[in-house]
Chain A
């Protein structure tokens, strides 16, 4: 901190100079109002003071640089660039992120154009109708000696096909209108759901009350869900949330979680539920109640993440596949065998977490249906996991592309971070 006395700054935001010193040296994590106050006093953006944001900024710029040979040469001076020109760096990073989002939208759209059965069927219908009209109209216009019986028949066909064309064109426009107002906006239903859950803090207070509204009503009332697909996914999420609430009411669960030191296995026994349900319930506890953040990721049998609740210091990939060393995937390969590991998330300031994971099969289609499996991993910052795990932490990352662990045996693709570490 230069150009300003630490004591002055501490006083102006109402904290002691020694506390500010701890914050400065990353010995205390802060957030909310205090960080806003310090940022205002220093005349900088709050995100510039948070290491997570800076790391994210550096990562985005590294990714951008690697895609451009000429910029890759300047990689060693990246941090200097961010330090000297934070505004330009942010602009570049935002532009890069926006470009990635747009590329993603293009992929979604192109996938839709190629595979969307409704669009394909509608266009086929329109073209077939137009063909019949054009062909019939030409006959009527160019055949002077047409038999009156044939002429009447062709007139009827024309009327019939015109009505059909109007109908299919209307359906097509309706479809495109709906699509452009929702998913064409650039995200998938999963991302829309993720954003909505984030806005709720992953805690659905309405469902925690007695006489809670039903999930359909809640989704209908919410403003953050626009596409039909995202609404449907949200309803399914809320139905399961409600079941979890019934089995583990908030007050009782909160008390038990504290008494049992956030041990998911002990909580599962106490409430007579499976581990997956306890994970979901723990991740739905309000942050202030827990005294910290609890993260949760869920994946299906293909390893695709279907639920992401991040926790500071454990970034989750948005587009790319996750780190194969996550305990989530160890659990996925061994259904019904619970996994607990200490992990250390790589980065400039590595942080340790205790992860609990389990994979549970189900038979939603009965004995004749396919087995559906789902794995979940609870991410507890080490200070929250009162049960100490003695083992050495397993080194993990977010996803290979931005992982600094160059010598990782499970690496899928080279990292763009090697130069920076």
Chain B
């Protein structure tokens, strides 16, 4: 089975662009746009890497991350957080909740691709 990434993001055109660049690199990309049901979606089928936006309708990326870290199935799931809020405080909060990588928008496509691959390889190396 190929490597799977789940993208939790509510901007359709950002979803489309990230889906495109990751798909071309061999990733199976699934997407989810609703913050409120994101935790259930991840727990139902944990991906190899989670790309998580912060400002989401229903529930913030921070709360989703905290809940995922509390669940045994996802406590060490590699998570890349994307946020338009690049302030130090947000980064610190994300780190406190156990994020693996934090990236601010607008990002370069190549950076996202590299980060997702590095998280996957890091997890594979640790396993």
Q: Does B43 contact A (CB under 8 A)?
A: no
The residue of chain A having its C-beta at the shortest distance from the C-beta of B54 within the complex is A124
Task: Give bound CA distance, A138 to B68, whole Å.
Answer: 32
Q: A124-B55, A127-B106, A160-B13 are in contact. Are A135 and B18 (CB under 8 A)?
A: yes
Q: Does B85 contact A (CB under 8 A)?
A: yes
The residue of chain A having its C-beta at the shortest distance from the C-beta of B84 within the complex is A127
The residue of chain A having its C-beta at the shortest distance from the C-beta of B18 within the complex is A135
**Number of B positions contacting A (CB below 8 A):** 17
- Are A135 and B84 neighbours in the complex by a CB distance under 8 Å? no
B108 neighbours in A (Cβ, 8 Å): 134, 138
Q: A127-B105, A127-B106, A128-B105 are in contact. Are A135 and B17 (CB under 8 A)?
A: yes
Task: Give bound CA distance, A287 to B71, whole Å.
Answer: 72
Q: Does B109 contact A (CB under 8 A)?
A: yes
- Are B84 and A161 neighbours in the complex by a CB distance under 8 Å? no
8 A Cβ contacts from B5-43 to A? 11, 13-14, 16-18, 20-21, 24
Residue of B11, B16, B21, B24 near A128 (CB, 8 A) is: B11
Q: Does A157 contact B (CB under 8 A)?
A: yes
Q: Does A123 contact B (CB under 8 A)?
A: yes
- Are B85 and A130 neighbours in the complex by a CB distance under 8 Å? no
The residue of chain B having its C-beta at the shortest distance from the C-beta of A132 within the complex is B13
8 A Cβ contacts from B86-109 to A? 105-109
Q: A124-B55, A128-B84, A132-B11 are in contact. Are A157 and B16 (CB under 8 A)?
A: yes
The residue of chain B having its C-beta at the shortest distance from the C-beta of A121 within the complex is B55
Q: A124-B55, A124-B84, A139-B21 are in contact. Are A131 and B105 (CB under 8 A)?
A: yes
Task: Give bound CA distance, A161 to B18, whole Å.
Answer: 15
Q: Does A306 contact B (CB under 8 A)?
A: no
The residue of chain A having its C-beta at the shortest distance from the C-beta of B85 within the complex is A124
B109 neighbours in A (Cβ, 8 Å): 135, 138-139, 142
Q: Does A40 contact B (CB under 8 A)?
A: no
Task: Give bound CA distance, A124 to B57, whole Å.
Answer: 13
B105 neighbours in A (Cβ, 8 Å): 127-128, 130-131
A124 neighbours in B (Cβ, 8 Å): 55, 84-85
Q: A131-B84, A157-B13 are in contact. Are A139 and B20 (CB under 8 A)?
A: yes
A138 neighbours in B (Cβ, 8 Å): 108-109
A153 neighbours in B (Cβ, 8 Å): 16
The residue of chain A having its C-beta at the shortest distance from the C-beta of B108 within the complex is A138
8 A Cβ contacts from A259-283 to B? none
Q: A124-B55, A127-B105 are in contact. Are A132 and B84 (CB under 8 A)?
A: no
A139 to chain B, nearest CB (A): 6
The residue of chain B having its C-beta at the shortest distance from the C-beta of A142 within the complex is B109
Task: Give bound CA distance, A154 to B14, whole Å.
Answer: 11
Q: Does A150 contact B (CB under 8 A)?
A: yes
Render A108-134 as a binary contact track against B, CB cut-off 8 A, 1 for contact.
000000000000000110011011111
Task: Give bound CA distance, A128 to B106, whole Å.
Answer: 7
Residue of A123, A128, A143 near B14 (CB, 8 A) is: A128
Q: Does A136 contact B (CB under 8 A)?
A: yes
Task: Give bound CA distance, A295 to B18, whole Å.
Answer: 65
Sample of 15 further A-B pairs with CB below 8 A, known A124-B84, A139-B17: A124-B55, A124-B85, A127-B106, A128-B11, A128-B14, A128-B105, A130-B105, A131-B11, A131-B105, A134-B107, A135-B17, A135-B106, A136-B16, A142-B109, A157-B16
Closest 9 CB pairs between A and B? A135-B17, A127-B84, A132-B13, A131-B106, A131-B105, A157-B13, A134-B106, A130-B106, A132-B14
A-B contact pairs, 10 of them (CB 8 A): A128-B14, A131-B11, A131-B105, A132-B11, A134-B106, A134-B107, A139-B17, A157-B13, A157-B16, A161-B13
